[in-house]
Amino acid sequence: MGAREEALGRVGGRVVVCTRCPRLVAWRREVAQEPPPRFAGERYWARPVPGFGDPAARVYVLGLATAAHGGNRTGRALTGNSTADWLTAALHRAGLANQATSVARDDGLRLTGAWTASAVRCPPPGNRPTPQERDHCLPYLTEELDALADVAVLVTLGAFAWDAASRQAGLRPRPAFGHGAEAVRPDGRVQLGCYHPSRQNTATGLLTEPMLDAVFRRAVELAGRP
């Protein structure tokens, strides 16, 4: 194992035992104890979810927060819900994933040139983390980015992730979020705005597959992959 993998493993090890946010510690267990009927009987992860992907990633995909019945159930970032279906299919079309689905930690998914994580690594009630919870979790983003030395582009899913990435980078004035928005960070990386592929956005047509593909095409272009 190389130094980069070791550094990422150390971050992940700290993430999975983190208890900095009491409200979220309680919520991640509560939702696991009362799953919806479609997940009845499943053993939930019910811990914070570390980042997942390729240590040589050039594209970092940042989501809002761990989903109560997605990552909090499966134990892998952006896995096991409708958002994961849309995102993984797009990563596959962009040549960044070996398969188009992400349903469980043992499903064989491998990312090449990409890393996925959420700005808040525990599930928040109503998908709404507080500013304090966001700030508690941002150091893990910093630590992962320090380890992922090849990352050139951050694709931020939704305004919350865009804002979290802007704060983490110290971008001032704060750039405005938009689908396809671009901002150059003080660390030289580019962050790209993308509407969140939540069921709400995809079912209403606010975000379509061509729109998602356009963002990842741009990300790959900026990241300089062949």
Which residues of this chain interact with ligand SF4, rule CB under 6 A?
Answer: 15, 18-21, 24-25, 48, 120-122, 133, 136-137
Query: What number of residues does the chain have?
Result: 226
**Under a CB-based contact definition with an 8 Å cutoff, are residues 118 and 65 in contact?**
yes
Query: Contacts by 182-186 with C-beta closer than 8 Å and gap 24+?
Result: 182/218, 185/154
Cβ nearer to ligand SF4, comparing 81 with 202: 81
Considering the complex, state which of residue 65 and residue 215 has its C-beta at the smaller distance from ligand SF4: 65
In angstroms, the CA 66 to CA 32 distance is 13
Query: Cβ of residue 133: shortest distance to ligand SF4, in angstroms?
Result: 5
C-beta of 150: minimal distance to ligand SF4 in Å? 24
- Phi/psi of residue 61, each to 5°? -105, 120
Structure tokens at 67: 């989903």
CA distances, 74 to each of 19, 52, 69, 91, 99 (Å): 19, 12, 8, 19, 17
Q: Please, which residue, 46 or 137, has the CB nearer to ligand SF4?
A: 137
- Give the nearest distance from C-beta 11 to ligand SF4 in angstroms: 11
**For residues 33 and 93, what is the distance between their CA atoms, to the nearest angstrom?**
36
- Please state the closest distance from residue 62 (CB atom) to ligand SF4, in A: 13
Distance, C-alpha 174 to centroid of its chain: 21
Could you tell me the smallest distance in angstroms from the CB atom of residue 157 to ligand SF4?
17
Query: CB-wise, 18 or 190, nearer to ligand SF4?
Result: 18
Q: How far is CA 94 from the centre of its chain?
A: 17
In the bound complex, what is the minimum distance in angstroms from residue 103's beta carbon to ligand SF4? 23
Report how far residue 124's alpha carbon sits from residue 9's, in angstroms, rounded to the nearest whole number: 24
Closer residue to ligand SF4 (CB): 117 or 192: 117
Nearer to ligand SF4, 25 or 206 (CB): 25
